[in-house]
Amino acid sequence: MSYLMESEPHRSGRRTAAWIVGAVLLAALAVVAFIAGRAQSGPGESVPPGSTTSPIRWDRVGPWDAPTSAEHGPARAAARLASGFSHDDLGAALAAINIGMRLSVEVGPQVYIPTARTQTFGDVDTLLAQVRSQPYGTPSPVLEMAYKVLSGDPGSDLVLVSIATRTAASQVQGGWNATAVTLRWQDGDWRAQVPLAPAQLLRSTEGYRSLGGPDV
C-alpha cells in the first residue's frame, strides 16, 4: 500500500493562502461590527443594556428634575406647560412624567390648573380637588427613572405606561416608586388620564428601560 504525499512547498503555499483569507475575513467582520455598533449607539455614545438610545437631559420642574429629549419631547416647554411629545413609547413615558410632575401642589396653581385643563382627560375636577388638598412638603430628589409599556400600542391612540422612580426615600423602603399612567393620543399629542393612580413600591425594574438620572 502506498500513499500519495504532497510536496512541502505545496503545503506551505496552501497554508499561507488560507491564513491570508482568514485574516481578510476577520478584518471584514471587525469593520461590520464597528459600523453596527456606531449605528446602534451613535458616535461617542455608550448605551447600557435596557436603557434608551435617545440622549436624555434633565430640566427643573418645581422641586424635581424631569427627563426631556430633543427628539421625543417636550418640543415646547414653557413655565407652565410642557407639550409636543413623540408618538412612540419614549414620547409617552416622557409625557407621563412631565405632565405628572406639573400636577402637584408644589408647582403652584399657575402650573397645575392649566396642565390639568389642557393635558389630561377624565375626572379633572376631582384631580384638582386632590391637588389642592395636598400638604406642602420637601419631596425626595429623583435619583433615577425608568419606564415600561404595560399594555396598548404607543403608536396608536391608547397606551398604559409604568413610570418607576428611585429616590433616597424609596431606597430606604427597598425599591422604586412606580405609577401606572394611561395616555391617550389626541390632537397630535399625549394626554394623561386623571386622577392618577397612587404609587406602588416596586422591588425590581426588570424589563424596564432606564432613563438614567440627573447625576447618573
In a domain, 96, yes or no: yes
Whether residue 140 is predicted with pLDDT greater than 70 in this model: the reply is yes
Report the distance separating Cα 176 and Cα 164, nearest Å. Answer: 6
The predicted-structure confidence for 197-214, as pLDDT tens digits, reads as follows: 999 999 999 999 999 999
Which structural domain range is residue 183 located in?
Answer: 57-212
Residue 80 belongs to a domain: yes
Total Cβ atoms within 10 A of residue 19 = 10
What pLDDT score does 216 carry? 62
The upper half-sphere exposure of residue 134, i.e. CA atoms within 13 Å in the direction of its Cβ, equals 18
Helix (H) or strand (E) segment spanning residue 130: helix 124-132
**Global pTM value:** 0.76
- Asked if the structure places residue 46 within a domain, the reply is no
Each residue of 26-77: pLDDT tens digit?
333 333 333 233 333 332 232 344 566 689 999 999 999 999 999 999 999 8
List phi, psi (to 5°) of 131.
-65, -45
Domain annotation covers residue 188? yes
Domain assignment of residue 11, yes or no: no
CA dist 26 and 156 (Å) reads 44
Q: 49 in a domain, yes or no?
A: no
Q: Please choose, from the candidates 101, 93, 214, the residue with its C-alpha nearest in 3D space to the C-alpha of residue 163.
A: 93
| Cα(120)–Cα(169) distance, integer angstroms | 28
Residue 95 lies in a domain: yes
Residue 140 belongs to a domain: yes
Quick one: pLDDT at residue 80?
Answer: 82
Domains contained in the chain, number: 1
